[in-house]
């Protein structure tokens, strides 16, 4: 009769565990080729769209097209008012920024389900306390300015009635990106001989937080969420947080945001600033498209979160690889800043 020994008793479990782990890792890391290609193509299209936008704007302004100068002056002045209001809210907030962030996350939890720990951790652990305040207060101001953001989107829809949501969104992203460069580039002592891919600008945390927060809401409106109750503040913060993981911050040269500090401005390559706005814009489009179609939400689903962040990583890699186009955008932004009175004094 003997003693029955199962076949698995002959297996080296340590080696089996390593093998299984490796297979799982390969499945996670090895993404389908068409997944890579589609995201890379989107990044290339978006950066080309921004190049065309910046080129046309710079050309019209250089040719003294009064209507273009007037329009961008008006838009810049509105952005400056948003920034000023954000700065005032930061000054009044004291130590309340954590309270605001917790409140926003609680609202998101009640609206769409418990937010993933990965996202909550990113938000709660912004080590730069000024940046944490800026994000919280900028969200508050952007929500208060929702009607103003809606007017901007409605105007674009009137100008381009046949364009789909993602096209309108890209116009919003292009505009915000150029504004952020205009606010960041200091013309005093600027050296045109310096390589534009290496040019550093001062990233003002309050200004960028205000522009990024407004952009998220504008894109949400472009995708049909034109009621303030349809976009929670927690969702808006979470979208930005998805773009601010430690690996992305390091890639953009924003490691300072992971360190305890109360600084309000940090140096960043101008091209990295472009990539940051493109990335947040892309993430916003991705998120609101998912929301429109009722697909798995990356804020609450681990699987959807992984796919979402994989797309962000590929998108950023491709954007930063477009060095010549990024340099052209910075060059045009400098030209625009010199010609637009509202930006020249920014």
Domain boundaries, given as residue ranges, for the chain: 30-125, 129-344
Quick one: pLDDT at residue 128? Answer: 65
Take residue 135 and report the two structure tokens written for it. 């994000």
- Cα–Cα dist 317/311, whole Å: 10
**Backbone conformation region of residue 100, classed left if phi is above 0, alpha if psi is from -120 to 50, else beta:** alpha
Residue with tokens 């052209």: 328
Structure-block tokens of residue 291? 């929301």
Question: Can you read off the two tokens belonging to residue 198?
Answer: 């290496």
CB atoms within 10 A of CB 317: 15
Q: What are phi and psi of 273, to 5 degrees?
A: -65, -40
Please classify residue 5 by burial: count the beta carbons closer than 10 Å to its beta carbon, then call 0-12 exposed, 13-18 middle and 19+ buried. exposed
- Max CA-CA distance within the chain? 99
Task: With CA atoms as reference, report the closest residue to 231 among 150, 315, 130, 137.
Answer: 150
Q: Contact 208/180 with Cβ under 8 angstroms?
A: yes
- CB of 207 within 8 A of CB of 196? no
Rounded to two decimals, the pTM is 0.85
Task: Tell me the pLDDT of the chain (346 aa) as tens digits.
Answer: 444 443 334 444 334 333 333 333 333 445 677 888 899 999 999 999 999 999 998 888 877 766 666 777 777 788 888 888 888 887 777 666 667 777 777 777 777 778 788 877 777 666 567 777 788 888 888 888 889 899 999 999 999 999 999 999 999 999 999 989 888 887 665 555 567 888 888 888 888 888 999 999 999 999 999 988 888 878 888 898 889 887 888 899 988 887 776 677 888 899 999 999 999 999 999 999 999 999 999 988 999 999 999 999 999 999 999 999 999 999 999 888 888 777 766 6
Q: CB within 8 A of 346, min separation 6: which ones?
A: 76, 80, 182, 183, 337
Taking the alpha carbons at both ends of the chain, their separation in whole angstroms is 91
Of 54, 29, 117, 92, whose CA–CA distance to 313 is shortest?
29
Give the tokens for residue 225.
């969420």
């Amino acid at each position: 009769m003997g003693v029955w020994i199962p076949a698995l008793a002959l297996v080296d479990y340590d080696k089996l565990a390593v093998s299984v782990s490796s297979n799982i890792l390969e499945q996670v890391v090895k993404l389908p080729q068409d997944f890579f290609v589609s995201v890379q193509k989107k990044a290339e299209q978006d950066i080309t769209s921004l190049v065309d936008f910046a080129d046309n704007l710079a050309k019209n302004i250089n040719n003294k097209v009064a209507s273009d100068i007037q329009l961008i002056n008006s838009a810049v002045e509105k952005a400056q008012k948003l920034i000023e209001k954000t700065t005032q809210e930061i000054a009044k907030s004291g130590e309340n920024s954590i309270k605001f962030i917790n409140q926003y996350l609680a609202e998101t939890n009640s609206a769409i389900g418990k937010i993933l720990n990965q996202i909550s951790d990113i938000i709660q652990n912004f080590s730069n306390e000024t940046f944490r305040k800026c994000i919280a207060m900028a969200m508050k101001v952007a929500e208060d300015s929702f009607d103003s953001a809606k007017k901007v989107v409605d105007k674009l829809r009137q100008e381009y009635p046949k364009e789909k949501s993602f096209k309108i969104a890209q116009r919003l992203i292009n505009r915000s990106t150029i504004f952020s460069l205009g606010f960041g580039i200091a013309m005093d002592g600027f050296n045109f001989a310096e390589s534009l891919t290496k040019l550093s600008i001062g990233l003002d945390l309050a200004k960028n937080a205000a522009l990024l927060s407004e952009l998220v809401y504008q894109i949400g409106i472009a995708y049909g969420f034109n009621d303030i109750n349809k976009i929670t503040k927690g969702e808006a913060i979470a979208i930005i947080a998805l773009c601010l993981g430690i690996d992305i911050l390091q890639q953009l040269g924003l490691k300072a945001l992971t360190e305890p500090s109360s600084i309000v401005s940090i140096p960043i390559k101008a091209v990295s600033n472009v990539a940051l706005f493109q990335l947040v814009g892309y993430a916003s489009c991705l998120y609101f498209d998912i929301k429109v179609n009722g697909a798995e939400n990356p804020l609450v689903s681990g699987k959807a979160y992984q796919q979402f962040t994989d797309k962000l990583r590929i998108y950023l890699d491709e954007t930063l690889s477009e060095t010549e186009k990024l340099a052209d955008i910075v060059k045009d932004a400098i030209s625009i800043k010199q010609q637009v009175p509202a930006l020249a004094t920014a």
